[in-house]
A and B are shown apart, each in its own frame.
Chain A
Amino acid sequence: MKQILFTLLATLIVSMSPETQPRVVTISAKRFEFTPNQITLKRGEPVTIRVAAEDRDHGFYQKDLKLELDLSPDKVAEATITPDKTGRFVVICDHFCGSGHGNMKMVINVE
């Protein structure tokens, strides 16, 4: 029994250790831009993408990376992904936000 408890405790400690926490990338969204507008990730490395809307509702959508977040100013939205392919992926705001909406995008490079 002690052995089992010890193993469980060790597993818990390892899972909480800083080494296993995904890297966090923070992005802000406001009409009609994301800041930063370009980030670089590593293939196979988990990363948490945290996005805050500053002014109104926005979207954060990249189909190939399976990123789809609804953004509103009252909360920070986040998703954790592990990119499995390299390339240049364009993220768009997919919540209509006005005349410059079509140009509200950013790039995720996966190396």
Chain B
Amino acid sequence: MSKSFDRRKFLKVSGMSLGVGALISVAPAMAGGGPSATLRRWFRRQNGEELTPFSLVQLSDAHVGFSGPPNPTGTKAFERAIDVINGLEQQPDLILFTGDLTHEAEAPGEHAKRMQLFQTLTSRLKTKKVMYVPGEHDAGLDNGALYRQFFGETHYTFDHRGVHFIALDNVSAGKPKVGAEQIEWLKRDLARYPRTAPIIVFTHRPLFDLRPDWEWSTRDGDEVLNVLAPYENVTILYGHIHRHDVHETEHAMHYASRSLIFAFPDPTTVGDKKPVPFDKEKPFKNLGLQLLAESKGHLGVDDVELSLREFAGTDGVQQILKSGESL
């Protein structure tokens, strides 16, 4: 899509957006001295990048290769999300993908084809800095072997604009856990950073018990949160639950992104975990992404529901079907 547009005019932003979380609590004094100036100097010394405003997009759960009643349109929502991001007036610095990039497949070679298709679609993004973590549908059956061939390591860290990013893998063990080895690695990594460092963790499953009988938890999530507890500015982004959610634990804010394939219902209102039925009139209903922007020490988080309305003034699946195609 060549047309650029302002996201606030054209995207449906849930509840006028902005659950605002403090990413960098020392930042109100950023222009002055004190701890924030020390932090800025520290980051500049460590990696040459000063703490400066930036924006990023979180995408999750595209399940490329999935086909079924909850969403018979395949990759259409994922492709629409790519168009939406490419159409943003200000392109994000960074895109984080929090797992389930693909849907697993039984036939030999089929899962690799799905990963290839995912990469082909992702290559359309104007923003080229795209970082990934796996979901259990990517890495749960082979302990991440195929995923690593396409996307590299399942856990790693990097710094960007003065923020420390941590990719955590809580799926490739097969079970919902991070594991002792990765937790030790996390301790060693964090030991290099001051307690005030702004940290964004991105992972697939929630690190807290959101709904354990739906597998919406990480068995050793408490251990991970304990390791992060001494750090004052921690934000955790995750997927897996196919719905937007905001949760606060003692030391961190947790934000879940919508999926790009189908939604799950509110776990507090229903007993069984069943996808929300597909709605032909609104094929992207409940699907979407998260836009995040860091400015002056605060992280704005916009929950965005995808829609067709901004393109044609109306929703309806016929707009994304080829001529003669039906569902």
> B207 at interface (Cβ–Cβ under 8 A)?
no
Measured CB to CB, the nearest residue on chain A to B212 is A63
Measured CB to CB, the nearest residue on chain B to A58 is B174
Taking CB atoms, residues of chain A closer than 8 Å to B141 are 96-98
Instruction: Give Cα distance in the complex from A63 to B212, angstroms.
Output: 7
Number of interface residues of A (CB under 8 A): 17
Q: Mark A40-70, 1 if CB is under 8 A from B, else 0.
A: 0000000000000000010101110000101
A99, B106: Cβ atoms under 8 Å? Answer: yes
Looking at A59, A95, A96, A97, which has the most chain B CB atoms within 10 Å of its CB?
Answer: A96
A57, B174: Cβ atoms under 8 Å? Answer: yes
Instruction: Give Cα distance in the complex from A46 to B260, angstroms.
Output: 46
A94, B104: Cβ atoms under 8 Å? Answer: no
Q: Mark A65-103, 1 if CB is under 8 A from B, else 0.
A: 000101000000000000000000010101111110110
A92, B175: Cβ atoms under 8 Å? Answer: no
B174, A95: Cβ atoms under 8 Å? Answer: yes
| With A57-B174, A59-B175, A102-B273 as contacts: A96 and B213 at CB distance below 8 Å | no
Measured CB to CB, the nearest residue on chain A to B209 is A63
A95, B106: Cβ atoms under 8 Å? Answer: no
Number of interface residues of B (CB under 8 A): 17
Q: Which of B140, B213, B219 contacts A92 (CB 8 A)?
A: B213
Instruction: Give Cα distance in the complex from A99 to B103, angstroms.
Output: 8
Instruction: Give Cα distance in the complex from A98 to B219, angstroms.
Output: 20
| With A57-B174, A96-B136, A96-B174 as contacts: A63 and B106 at CB distance below 8 Å | no
Taking CB atoms, residues of chain B closer than 8 Å to A68 are 219
Measured CB to CB, the nearest residue on chain A to B271 is A90
A63, B213: Cβ atoms under 8 Å? Answer: yes
B215, A92: Cβ atoms under 8 Å? Answer: yes
Instruction: Give Cα distance in the complex from A59 to B136, angstroms.
Output: 14
Instruction: Give Cα distance in the complex from A94 to B175, angstroms.
Output: 6
B174, A98: Cβ atoms under 8 Å? Answer: no
Taking CB atoms, residues of chain B closer than 8 Å to A61 are 212
* Distance from A39 Cβ to chain B, minimum over Cβ atoms (Å): 17
Taking CB atoms, residues of chain B closer than 8 Å to A92 are 213, 215
Using a CB–CB cutoff of 8 Å, the interface residues on chain B facing chain A are 103-104, 106, 136-137, 140-141, 171, 174-176, 209, 212-213, 215, 219, 273
Shortest 10 CB-CB contacts between residues of A and residues of B: A96-B140, A96-B136, A95-B174, A63-B212, A90-B213, A95-B175, A96-B174, A94-B175, A59-B175, A94-B215
11 pairs, A vs B, C-beta closer than 8 Å: A57-B174, A63-B209, A63-B213, A68-B219, A92-B215, A94-B176, A94-B215, A95-B174, A99-B103, A99-B104, A101-B136
